[in-house]
Structure 1
């Protein structure tokens, strides 16, 4: 009897047209058209590091020099990247060292259009206020690293922070004589650098350094070539190390496999290539964590020696120790 009843119900159900509206009173869900906030938190020994996503630029593959177009396209295709332009992240890294906040690079503001300039927004989403940042360490003074020290009104976004950069870098980009003799296409880079740091200079908060600088576990590592005073930073805590490369690499698909490939923006291409090879070899040998301002966000991972070049091994998502 039970079997006959279930069979009858099954037959009846098959005769009722299916309608997704039956039994629902809510409206159809609309697409949100937004992404999650651009920050990723990780622990490094006793430090907490937050990767911040400033946005992206479309990098033209023709800017990569030292390999044929066919080779560049082959390497891009191996990472499922197609087309002449590749979406390229702009990252920064916030280090919480016992409550002292150190930001490595500040993004581009709107110097390169609307797809960039979100460091302040991402910082707040990550739970920090820009006025709590104590130090902004700059890898160099290109606009996509320094312009973000100002807000939309041209005022300091980090009013209580000192700005630190290599003296060689400051001497080059803040020189009016260098700006005057630069090609017309490069003059705006000098102007943006001067304009960005000017309010901090006026407040006595622009403090270039010479040689090594040690900020409580953060050491400057000279890696000039991309710019005259380009600097990477080694962060160390409780036996763990992170090497922040800066702009030692722009295209993960091409420059790990072929580190001898330069980019048009390198001021000294030979020195930039030498610096990249040295940093990659060091990171691979010592199994350092690395991060880069133009690696796919969050831009943190390892370098593995592979053939005559290297391979990029991004970190996997992981909750913070002790988080629930």
Structure 2
């Protein structure tokens, strides 16, 4: 039977034991170094019978409040800050692989080495996603700006050695058959040289094909002429089993400001007035038809829907899913 004396004795013993434990030297915890990098950036979803793989070329900080046009820089900066986006703003560069089961099609090709070390990660992410550049059968460009065509070449050679390149004919003519006035333009001239550098090897190899406005670049792939950002800028459409996705290139830069203010343009727009009109049409159609949209400069993976709200439109990213 436990008496008051035995209880005090046991309690004292426990106290002594606890004191002995706390007096032992504490083992030092190992300090793990910070990794400082993300996992490979690809994301998959199903579209009917097709497999869509979003691929990141990287992200880059750009002074978007200054780049936006038709709005005061201070107003743009305040609008971004109100949505927890800083200035400079982290901007994604995305590309997309469509596996139809019969062919593997890349839509846009990232920057390659043209825009710094923060970008140019497309090929690494293609490989991380389980494919090889040599497996790609076709490449379709929404337009020929360097952040969409720079990844076509490396050291002057075709990265996608077995692929045929498809570009809107008006887009190809503007950049690859530029007149002297365009070549002499301070902004456009360097872009012409980049276009020739990136697309030229495919032309020389007989691997460039052009498509007309609103025509199909390939069987099963449609296009929608969306001019303004560039003269031949085109969205690419894909459908399977009643499901539809539109890869709309540079209809919007970012997820916030232009959805509230479709009239806001960017300094990269070749025809700013036309770009604003095109964006208004594209937003309205996406909201009405409720199809999936994939944007080259929405936060990765850049896939979502457009809906109307009290300030014009809202971008709604797809919910992440670990199942496929």
TM-score by length of 2: 0.91
Conserved in 1, the CA contact under 8 Å of 2:59 and 2:90?
Answer: yes
Query: 2:21 matched to 1:21?
Result: no
In structure 2, do the counterparts of structure 1 residues 180 and 271 end up closer, same or farther at CA, with 3 Å as the change threshold? Answer: closer
Structure 1 segment 226-241 matched on structure 2, within 5 A: 226-241=229-244
In structure 2, distance between residues paired with 1:253 and 1:167: 32
In structure 2, the gaps of 5 or more residues are none
Equivalent residue in structure 2 for 1:134, among 109, 133, 137: 137
In the other structure, the counterpart of 1:42 is 45
In structure 1, distance between residues paired with 2:10 and 2:307: 66
In structure 2, distance between residues paired with 1:241 and 1:98: 17
In structure 2, do the counterparts of structure 1 residues 307 and 192 end up closer, same or farther at CA, with 3 Å as the change threshold? Answer: same
Conserved in 1, the CA contact under 8 Å of 2:146 and 2:194?
Answer: yes
In the other structure, the counterpart of 1:173 is 175
In structure 1, the gaps of 5 or more residues are none
Aligned positions, number: 316
SS of equivalent to 1:40:
strand
SS of equivalent to 2:196:
helix
In the other structure, the counterpart of 2:282 is 279
Structure 1 segment 1-324 matched on structure 2, within 5 A: 8-9=13-14, 12-13=17-18, 16-17=22-23, 21=27, 27-60=30-63, 61-83=65-87, 85-151=88-154, 153-178=155-180, 181-211=183-213, 212-213=215-216, 215-321=218-324
Deviation of 1:125 (Å):
0.4
TM-score by length of 1: 0.91
In structure 2, do the counterparts of structure 1 residues 78 and 6 end up closer, same or farther at CA, with 3 Å as the change threshold? Answer: farther
In structure 2, distance between residues paired with 1:241 and 1:50: 15
Conserved in 2, the CA contact under 8 Å of 1:218 and 1:235?
Answer: yes
SS of equivalent to 1:208:
strand
In structure 2, distance between residues paired with 1:266 and 1:19: 66
SS of equivalent to 2:32:
coil
Conserved in 1, the CA contact under 8 Å of 2:54 and 2:97?
Answer: yes
Conserved in 2, the CA contact under 8 Å of 1:43 and 1:320?
Answer: no
Conserved in 1, the CA contact under 8 Å of 2:211 and 2:217?
Answer: no
RMSD: 2.2
Deviation of 1:308 (Å):
4.5
Deviation of 1:57 (Å):
2.6
The farther-off stretch of 260-269 and 176-185 is 176-185
CA displacement, residues 102-161 of structure 1 (integer Å, 9 cap, x when unaligned): 00000011111111111110000000000000010000010110010012x221110000
In structure 2, do the counterparts of structure 1 residues 10 and 221 end up closer, same or farther at CA, with 3 Å as the change threshold? Answer: farther
Deviation of 1:7 (Å):
8.0
